[in-house]
Amino acid sequence: MTKIILIILLSLFIFPVYSQDYVSGEIIIGFNDSVDGLEAIKILNELKLELKERPFAQYRYVVYLRTHNNENYHLKNNLEKSQLFTLVDIPLDDKGIDISSNAIFAYAKLTTTENDIKQLITSLKNIEITSVETTSISVLVRVPVGHENNQIKRASKHKYINNAEFNYINIIF
């Protein structure tokens, strides 16, 4: 009997039990990639949902660029001066050393369009776009307590919403 109790207790430590609960009165909504910040607010107003927190995504596009003639730092400064990006950076290793003499990545502001980026890159010399990744916007929304499930179902039906879900809390026992 003692061995059984010991095995049960040890298994609780080795195999933790997870429980998912959610924050009452909150849901998370994820929009399609084509939806920008202003459109997201319009959709929330249309659905009569209250934004609790600003969009999780602080940028719209991640732009990967290739530079020529080792001009990373000069071109990085030009990109920063454009005011189109929240962050422009050069890949660095753990010691802060530039690991690529011809790469830059930039996170475009939510208000920056892909056309804005292309026009800027075209105006600069010795730089080209290697890829652009679109990020989707997710928001935290306040809903009446006890109506989370109904609001998730309602929001999920909107053509510009990718997903709506509870604002889960993971609890480990």
CATH number of the structural domain spanning residue 124: 3.30.70
| Distances, alpha carbon 63 to alpha carbons 11, 26, 66, 141, in Å | 47, 32, 10, 29
Q: CA 32, CA 55: separation in Å to the nearest integer? A: 13
Which residues, including other chains, have CB under 8 Å from residue 147's CB and lie 6 or more apart? Answer: none
| Distances, alpha carbon 126 to alpha carbons 6, 9, 23, 35, 70, in Å | 68, 64, 50, 32, 9
pLDDT in tens, 7-27: 565 555 555 554 558 889 999
Highest mean pLDDT of the ranges 11-20, 86-95, 137-146, 148-157 = 148-157
Residues 6 and 43 in one domain: yes
At residue 146 the predicted structure's pLDDT band, cuts being 50, 70 and 90, is very high
Residue type, 4: I
Number of domains composing the chain: 2
Residue 159 reports pLDDT greater than 60:
yes
Judged by average pLDDT, the poorest of 1-5, 81-85, 142-146, 147-151 is: 1-5
Q: CA 13, CA 17: separation in Å to the nearest integer? A: 9
Q: What pLDDT score does 74 carry?
A: 82
Residues 116 and 67 in one domain: yes
pLDDT in tens, 24-76: 999 989 888 778 778 888 999 999 999 887 666 667 788 888 888 777 778 88
At residue 95 the predicted structure's pLDDT band, cuts being 50, 70 and 90, is low
Residue type, 121: I
Residues 124 and 146 in one domain: no
Residues 128 and 69 in one domain: yes
- At which residue do the structure tokens 């929330």 appear? 44
Residues 36 and 86 in one domain: no
What is the helix, strand, coil percentage profile of the chain, to 5?
Answer: 30, 35, 35
pTM beyond 0.75: no
Q: CA 34, CA 42: separation in Å to the nearest integer? A: 14
Tokens of 101: 């003499």
Q: In which domain, by residue range, is 95 found?
A: 61-134
Q: Tell me the average pLDDT of the chain.
A: 80
Residues 142 and 128 in one domain: no
Residues 117 and 88 in one domain: yes
